[in-house]
A and B are shown apart, each in its own frame.
Chain A
Amino acid sequence: MIHLLKNAINEGLLNIRGKLGSFLITILMVSLSFMVFDIFLIISWNLGTVLKNEQENVGIEVFLSDNITEIESVNLADIISGMEGVRSVYFVSPEEAEAVFRADLPEQADLLTLLGPQFHLPPSIQISLQPDYRTSEKVGGLARSVSGMDGVEDIVYGKEYLPGLTRAVDILEKLVVLAGLVLALSLSLVVANTVRLAVTRRALAVQIMSIVGAPGWFVRVPFLGEGLLTGTAGSAGSLLLTVAVSWMLSPSVPHEFLPGKWIMLVLILGASSGAAGSWIGMKSGIPKPRS
């Protein structure tokens, strides 16, 4: 059995060595096909990152009445922090609000001086939300609940831009899944067909092996191995090509490369489409008894 397995592996290597040129061309074709997919993933990833960052900043700012005491403010913050969807709360005192105002808008700092020492900015509570609650619908619901509480003067939560942002994130997620599936399927077919053609070219070897008494798996293993190798090497090659393109474009178009998980996804997709191609190729290449 060990000899048989060893011979099956040698058979696969012999197949590759025998047609190294066409094997490399197949890998290049797979790499170029996968590059389209890689570029799509990079665009999606970067766009997604921008939108996610925007969504990260989604929160609620609760402005409190001027006459509220600090103890009442802290109690209110405690109540809000216990509400569903709230990740954390931060109490901003009038003094801190003024310091922030001066730091963020130094050109308007004189305004505060003109208004006199008796004027102070209202205290506020900044609410940070759980990721699931960063949609316009859920933020709106939470804001309505908080606005009815004693001591709350006003609420700000990006009512204008949040529905658009939520919709954009939602559309992008669906688009990535849908376009990713379509691209992955079409690529798999391209890769599968490329590998199938490579297998069909060796129909004679398949036929002779079958006729001289090779077990079915012995015939299949070298082809599946070759398909797996072609798909994996092709997708790895596409990643290298994409890294090169990404590096060349990065000065003019700043962006991030794919994260590790997405790179693994590309490699797995490459390996599985290569294996599928071998399988399809073998189905049409291996002679079977007619009944």
Chain B
Amino acid sequence: MLITFRNVSRYYNDWPALENINLQVEQGEFLVVSGPSGAGKTSLFRHIWMGDLPSKGLVEVAGYSSDRIRKNDLPFLRRKLGIVFQDFRLLPERTVFDNVALPLQVTGTSTKAIRRRVFSLLAEMELNHRRSSYPHELSGGDQQRVAIARAMVSHPVILLADEPTGNLDPEVSRIVIDLLIDINRSGTAVILATHDPRQVPAGTAKFIYLDRGHLVNPNFWDGYRQL
């Protein structure tokens, strides 16, 4: 199992961000996490990349356990993850190439290997012609595609996409979702947090719904039938 949440609760000053969450994600799975604002989607993601640790229960991700992980292990866990945010979080003073290359640079990959991998990925995502552009010179859709390229550049086993279409119009959102589906088809587990689970075609993904930190009928809920 790639990700396991076992009776996970997280409290901030007694306010439950997550309450008794049990969840499993397998290799190559596509999981859509839906729910209103403040439901705990981002908290759930933070627990996956262990930017936050549970108050109760246990999180296991790619062989790392929340009760045993040390500070020095965090970089190694995070190298197995790719993370995409709603607000892109591209570094404004760096070009597209440098933004995408960052995860490889911080892991000591040689310059030659970085160039090879980044050029190939940018070509694959049809962003090669924008490699010298700065984020502010790109449209929202292109910025998000660059953010996805950055998340995918080091071949992660899990891609976490936290409301990646939240700032995009429906047409561009469609392109981004299709890109995530393609990534999932290539074998990467994708976890997508979204307000609107209808963006993902039926049968493509497993759906869960969070409400005020609680998981609602995790085994039976179907985003399509209930919306």
The answer on a CB contact under 8 Å between B102 and A211 is no
Q: How far is the CB of B199 from chain A (nearest CB, A)?
A: 24
Interface flags, A91-118, vs B, CB<8A=1, else 0: 0000000000000000000000000000
- A244 at interface (Cβ–Cβ under 8 A)? no
Interface size on B, residues (CB 8 A): 31
- B163 at interface (Cβ–Cβ under 8 A)? no
Q: How far is the CB of B9 from chain A (nearest CB, A)?
A: 14
The answer on a CB contact under 8 Å between B93 and A18 is yes
The answer on a CB contact under 8 Å between A213 and B52 is no
- 25 A-B contact pairs sorted by A residue (CB < 8 Å): A4-B107, A14-B94, A19-B93, A204-B89, A208-B89, A208-B102, A209-B102, A209-B106, A210-B74, A211-B49, A212-B78, A212-B83, A212-B106, A212-B150, A212-B154, A213-B75, A213-B78, A213-B79, A214-B107, A216-B71, A216-B72, A287-B51, A288-B71, A289-B50, A290-B51
Shortest 7 CB-CB distances between A and B: which pairs?
Answer: A4-B108, A214-B106, A18-B93, A213-B79, A213-B78, A212-B103, A7-B105
The range of chain A's interface size is 20 to 34
CB within 8 A of A213: which of B93, B107, B110? B107
The answer on a CB contact under 8 Å between B106 and A215 is yes
CB within 8 A of B76: which of A1, A10, A207, A213? A213
Residues of A within 8 A of B (CB): 1-4, 7, 10-11, 14, 18-19, 204-205, 207-216, 218, 287-291
The answer on a CB contact under 8 Å between B50 and A7 is no
Residues of A within 8 A of B72 (CB): 215-216
- B177 at interface (Cβ–Cβ under 8 A)? no
With A and B bound together, what is the CA distance between A205 and B99 in angstroms? 10
Q: Is the interface of A mostly helix, strand, loop or mixed?
A: helix
Residue of A whose beta carbon sits closest to that of B47: A289
With A and B bound together, what is the CA distance between A207 and B106 in angstroms? 13
The answer on a CB contact under 8 Å between B53 and A7 is no
The answer on a CB contact under 8 Å between B106 and A7 is yes
The answer on a CB contact under 8 Å between B108 and A3 is yes
Q: How far is the CB of A258 from chain B (nearest CB, A)?
A: 38
The answer on a CB contact under 8 Å between A3 and B76 is no
With A and B bound together, what is the CA distance between A14 and B71 in angstroms? 27
With A and B bound together, what is the CA distance between A205 and B76 in angstroms? 19
The answer on a CB contact under 8 Å between A291 and B53 is yes
The answer on a CB contact under 8 Å between B53 and A213 is no
With A and B bound together, what is the CA distance between A210 and B103 in angstroms? 10
